[in-house]
Amino acid sequence: MTVAPRCRIASSSRVAVARSPRALGRLASRALWHELALHPKPGLVSLHDSGAHADMDARTFVRSLFALRPHFAALAAAGASGASFAALRVIGLEAEAAMLAATGGVNTHRGAIFALGLLVAAAARAEARDGKVAVATLRGNLRAAWGEALAAHSPPPGAPSHGTAAAARHGVGGARAEAAHAFPGVFDVALPALRDARRRGRSEQCARISALFALLAHVDDTNVLHRGGAAALDFVKARGRDFAHAADPLAFAASTHCEFVARRLSPGGSADLLGATLFVDSLEDAPR
């Protein structure tokens, strides 16, 4: 296995130069590209195959990515200006409409728009206020700006999404609870797993897969619940835990991918959080 160059981890968690909304939007889009390009990724669409999906492939995701980039920049600009959650939501709905127009009605990134949009806005808010963003305090910025609104947030009227319906049916929090708690899946689970794998000398591919499997082990993924119910979620979490004991992590990820495809399981919620994790990680390491 060829080992990719290890990413530099900044010795300080603070950076000193504020980035433009456009630059932050590019970082968000790039994070979603890295999530798409990662393989093997159990049940999920990648550049290699369509995973457990019959209605989308990598080309669908690329079209979505191009459509979303200006909207991430708009979310960053709104965050920098101190916009309310309601204002962010309007931009998010515009981004969702652009995604659906680009993909012919296929939902590729709805969860990512929600999670990444909030984190992009929070990062822009921190940089506008302080000229810098600290990953260690990014959650506090998010809570201070929109925590109360997120706690009270409810889905729009009308037919619920598959994820919202599954969350209600199985009594789990889903994406709204993850956001209301300032993304513990990103900051407490995936980001530590990503950076620990790098410190242990893993390739960047393996480090990102490690972060994904950490999410699989911890997240109540409503996409999994929608497709397979509680038993499927238990299976996914068990595979997530087993990854830590695999003698060959990439081979284990590949075999798990085959299992998920056979069972038609796609942990899309975990994929969204992986994209958000890669964005947060890039805040400290990206060129200014």
182 contact partners, CB below 8 Å, separation of at least 6: 139, 140, 142, 143, 147
Can you give the residue ranges of every domain in the chain?
21-285
Q: Is the bond into 40 cis (omega within 30 degrees of 0)?
A: yes
Query: Is residue 149 within 8 Å of residue 85, measured between CB atoms?
Result: yes
What is residue 175's predicted lDDT score, i.e. its pLDDT?
A: 77
What is residue 81's predicted lDDT score, i.e. its pLDDT?
A: 96
pTM comes to 0.89
Chain centroid to Cα 266, Å, comes to 14
> Ramachandran region of residue 75, left (φ > 0), alpha (ψ -120 to 50) or beta?
alpha
Q: What is the pLDDT of residues 71-84, one digit of tens each?
A: 999 999 999 999 99
Q: What is the pLDDT of residues 104-139, one digit of tens each?
A: 999 999 999 999 999 999 999 999 988 888 888 899
What is residue 155's predicted lDDT score, i.e. its pLDDT?
A: 64
CB atoms within 10 A of CB 278: 25
What is residue 153's predicted lDDT score, i.e. its pLDDT?
A: 75
What is residue 10's predicted lDDT score, i.e. its pLDDT?
A: 37
Give the CATH architecture of domain 21-285: Orthogonal Bundle (1.10)
Residues of the chain with pLDDT under 70: 1-18, 154-174, 285-288
What is residue 166's predicted lDDT score, i.e. its pLDDT?
A: 61
* Whole-angstrom distance, CA of residue 186 vs CA of residue 114: 14
